[in-house]
Every structure is written in C-alpha cells, then in structure tokens.
Amino acid sequence: MAINDLLISRFYSQIILEDFSIEDQARLLKKEITVIGCGGLGSPASVYLAASGIGKINLVDPDKVETRNLHRQVFFQETDVGKHKVDILKNHIEKLNSNCNVSTFKNKSWEIDFNEYKSDLILDCSDNLRTKYSLNEECVNNNIPFCSASVSDSDGQIALFTNKPESHCCYNCLFPENGDVDANDCAESGVLGPTVMLVASLQTVIAMKYLLNKFTDTETIYRISSENISIKKNKILSNSSCRLNKL
C-alpha cells in the first residue's frame, strides 16, 4: 500500500479537518519526540502522539508502576505493578501503531546523553524540579524546543520554549532556580486524576501544533484549573538575569 493510501486509511478523521492535511500527516511521520517522565502526564501524551502518527518516540523514565499511581496513570493496570513504565508503554504503543518507532531509557533524565539523538521536541512530563531545571538547561544549551507541563491539586500549567539561538526565554526565566530543588517534589503533593489527563491532552495538542508549525503561543504559560474549568494564558518575558542567558 502506498504511503499516502496508508495515511488516509488510518488517519482519515484527522486529515479531513479544516486545518489539517495529508501533508501534515506525512510530516508527523518524520518527527521524533522525547518524553521525559512516563507517569500521569507522559503516558497519555506518548500514547496520543503515537496514535496521532508521530514516527519516533523516546521514552525516558527509571520508575516502576506502583499501586498509588493507578488512580491517575490510566494506561497501567494492577497487573503492571512492579514493572517498568517505559516497557509497558512501549508494548502498548507498538500494538497501537506499528509504524511508530519506540526507544526506551530506564534512566534519570540527567543521565541521558542528548547528543546521542536529536529530537524535534522534548516533552517534560516529570514530577520534580530537579528534572525540570536540568532538562531546561540541556535544551537551552542545545537549542532544543522544550514543552514543560506539571500538575498539582486541581491545577496544571504548560509552557513551550523554542530555545532559538538568536533569542532567550526559558523555564528558568519563568521560575528562577532558588533554594533546594529537591525540596518540592510534585509526586508528594495531592492531585485529582482527571486533571492530569486534561493537562496531558492539552500538552499533546500543543506539541502536535508546534511540530506542524501551527502553534504561535510559544514562550507563553497556560494555567489550567479543573476546579473552575478555566484556562488562562500569559506571555513569558526573557529574564536578563537568567543564568542561562548568554545573549
């Protein structure tokens, strides 16, 4: 079957959208993304991106499934407890879309050599500040686009930074790195399960639009509240005192 016929038969419902095309679908097939953290945010984001036609996904997470994960990490089952999250997701994605190439890394993000592979976009779905700051620095230094999301209680936030060499605006501009980055671990705070899926879905839409050059709200923070059922956005300004700002 010709590639266009294959894309049409599988992704027909996407391709017929007014702001989508078969050319867009073919572009997604050539894209590579890296998902850091395969829990409540990373598991649905990676599955939805694979289902949408992304060609290659790198999954990074050293953790195994725990019983306490199951109320919000719905791609895992009770029988998965004790198994590595990246292995379960890889198996799920390959059964869902055999045309998606999946690589797994059972490492902390700061143990990964980002020079080994070049992603078109890195999705930060981690649950701790140490990972977010180390990822941000790696992406700034290597000019890799970086989409960070987090959830706590009934609230979530998403921001995408392009990290272009001619300008500077990064996660550290928005949240300056102060104090003990290990003191605030999102995994230890309460969270409403459906809020996590809501934020993950929006992060996925933002990622798809960016990969297709259809997302203009970069360097913008989206604040999502499932308590008030609201989304607010604000432009992020470059911080001249940011330690990563080399301009």
How confident is the model at residue 180, as a pLDDT?
A: 65
Q: Is the dihedral of CA 4, 18, 157, 41 positive or negative?
A: negative
Residues contacting residue 239 through CB under 8 Å, at least 6 positions apart: 169, 172, 173, 176, 245
Q: Per residue in 200-232, pLDDT tens?
A: 999 999 999 999 999 999 999 999 999 999 999
Of the candidates 83, 57, 90, the residue with the CA atom closest to the CA atom of residue 69: 83
Whether the predicted pLDDT of 185 surpasses 90: no
Kindly report whether the global pTM for this prediction surpasses the value 0.75.
yes
pLDDT for 123 beyond 90: yes
